Structure 1
Amino acid sequence: MSIGLIQTTTGLDAGKSARELSAAITRLAKRGASLVFTPEMCGILDRNPTRLSAAARQEADDPVLAALCTTASAQQVAVHIGSLAIRVPGSPLLANRSFVIGPDGRILARYDKLHLFDVDLPDGSCYRESASFAAGTSTAVVDVAGIRLGLAICYDLRFPALFHALAGAGAEVLAVPAAFTRPTGRAHWHVLLRARAIETGSFVVAAAQTGTHADGRETYGHSLVVDPWGEILLDMGDAPGEAIVTLDRGRIADVRSRIPALAHARPIPAPAA
């Protein structure tokens, strides 16, 4: 199957994001993609919690979600929206929420990011995702475009138990949309994505934010597709754009039969006192 990836430098204008993403999805669908992946926070990327909260909308009113559902239906292509900032009724915090949209424009699955990134980095950057977002409480695996897709978001990448759970639930492809910072991206992005692919015998698809954003942050880019053996099939570098790559589903069974780690996994007992 052919999949498309979009790498963006998302800013503060959700309407602009909706138009640009819809155009990119349309181009990728015409090139033969049956499933298109977008990055984390592809509608608005803003680390100012007051401004982000004011701009966020509930699902029914989100302009990016509405536009991409319409585009998916018009182009008969499935879309994985890496995530959007979604207002949750009755909560002061938002959800960092992924959506999987079918080729008929219907929402097939949702996933709220489980692990929140709160950290002070050596370069002086400070991130407090919990200032704006509530952590998710469940995992998600969905059948779409002929594959079984497991959902994760950005910082989730550092928690391998999540990916083992997704693969154990039948996921063949693991989605890791992200807005990795440049320092951590340079150090860890490639090795962590390859590790998650190797550990689970799965394809890993990671559409990423890149460049300098309107809120002042700098993201790493390098959207990747990694095969179940850990080989990098696509690296989009650090420029915004779109790309298409073909996945051979036969590789999953081949790799999992050669190294049946998923089948051999056992519960880990607590260390002795």
Structure 2
Amino acid sequence: MTIRVAAVQMCSGVNPEKNAAYMARLVRDAASRGAVYVQTPEMTGMLQRDRKAAREVLRGEADDVIVTTARRLAKELGITLHVGSTAIARDDGKIANRAFIFAPDGSQVCTYDKIHMFDVDLDNGESWRESSAYEPGDTAKVADLGFGRVGMAICYDVRFPQLFRSEAVAGAEILTVPAAFTRQTGEAHWEILLRARAIENGAFLIAAAQAGLHEDGRETYGNSMIIDPWGKILARAGDAGEEVLIADIDLDAVPAARRKVPNLKNAREFVLEDVPGQKAGGVAA
């Protein structure tokens, strides 16, 4: 079965209403080109480093402008719309980095809260503590979208292969990594991580990314990609600014790849043995 998919690359600002209109314009473009599944990046609704300013405009699901706009767009355009994520105010006063999938009738298929928090200290003084603002999720999701089964993840999740393996074992044919990768980590790791997740699971992978210099001063890597189960890059965006990637994917390529290299079936349980080391001179420790 062949379907047309799209990855929408954005450079989101600090105003959710403006970002909702921005998203709508690009999603309409993708739909006009025949895409039946469209994915937007992580933090589609707002990239804002000022925590106080961000909290002032946060809303719950029912009132969030990205959620309401995406639901309306999906129904109007008759597409499956995957909002890579947006910041959502939870009922307990915490914040979720939450993804949404809407069906062509506008109904909400499912949500996914980012599991792994980006708490890192990089070179040149770049440091991030996502856990200081967001509450991590604890549930992986595989959604049956009619045309195929889609595994959900967000950005930093890509560094945890066990998440993607569990989704593939559960039948995911398409893996997703909407992201706002930093330029520093993107240049070093983005492509190799995406291709590895596709190859090791014999699945398509769609990764819509944020790209360029944002209003809050951060810079993201872009390079949104659509990758096939053999690791071939079918479509790739540049490293700055908006772009709409389109690719036709044949889901029959998934079982074909898994027959050629059946590592999902060949995986075995094992015991890890911690072998004592040696002291200098060859004497056992």
Find the counterpart in structure 2 of residue 81 from structure 1: 83
Shift of 1:123: 2.1
Paired residues of 1:14 and 1:63 also in contact (CA < 8 A): yes
Check the 8 A contact 1:35/1:145 in 2, yes or no: no
Task: Name the amino acid aligned to 1:248.
Answer: D
Amino acid in the other structure paired with 2:249:
L
The offset of 1:145, in angstroms, is: 4.8
The residue type equivalent to 2:256 in the other structure is D
Q: CA RMSD in A?
A: 1.1
Unaligned runs of 5+ in 1: none
Whole-Å Cα distance in 1 between the matches of residues 271 and 38 of structure 2?
Answer: 40
**In the aligned structure 1, how far is the partner of 2:234 from the partner of 2:187?**
18
Q: Which amino acid counterpart does residue 148 of structure 1 have in structure 2?
A: R
The C-alpha deviation readout for 1:49-70, integer Å capped at 9, x for no partner, is: 2222222110000001101100
- Superposed, 1:100-111 pairs within 5 Å as 100-111=101-112
1:4-153, aligned counterparts within 5 Å? 4-91=6-93, 93-153=94-154
- How far apart, in 2, do the equivalents of 1:271 and 1:106 lie? 50
Look up the SS of the partner of 1:123 in the other structure: helix
Amino acid at match of 2:4: S
TM, length-normalised to structure 1:
0.97
Gaps of 5+ in 2: 276-285
CA displacement at 1:75 relative to structure 2 = 0.6
**Matching residue of 1:202:** 203
CA contact (8 A) 1:34 1:145 kept: no
Please give the secondary structure, in 2, of the residue aligned with 1:247: strand
Task: Kindly indicate whether the alpha-carbon contact (under 8 Å) linking 2:148 and 2:174 is maintained by their aligned counterparts in 1.
Answer: yes
Cα deviation, residue 271, structure 1: 2.9
- Partner amino acid for 2:72? T
**Equivalence for 2:228:** 227
**Is the contact made by 2:236 and 2:245 (CA closer than 8 Å) also made in structure 1?**
no
Partner of 1:154: 155
Deviations 1:1-55 (A, max 9, x none): 0011110000111111111111221221121100000000000011222222222
The Cα of 1:267 is off from its aligned counterpart by 2.7
* 2:8 partner letter: I
Task: Report the TM-score when normalising by structure 2.
Answer: 0.93
Distance of aligned partners of 1:211 and 1:268 in 2 relative to their CA distance in 1, 3 Å threshold: farther
Structure 1 distance, partners of 2:204, 2:223, is: 16
DSSP 3-state at the match of 1:243 = strand
CA distance in 1, matches of 2:238, 2:171: 30
Cα pair 2:202 2:229 within 8 Å, conserved: yes
Counterpart AA for 1:9: C
Q: Which has the larger radius of gyration?
A: 2
Distance in 2, Cα, partners of 1:70 & 1:130: 31
What secondary structure, in the 3-state scheme, does the structure 1 residue paired with 2:257 have? helix
The DSSP-based 3-state class of the residue aligned with 1:188 is helix
* SS class of match (2:150): strand
Q: Hey, what's the Cα distance between the residues in 2 that align with 1:227 and 1:180?
A: 21
Partner of 2:125, secondary structure, is coil
SS of residue in 1 equivalent to 2:223: coil
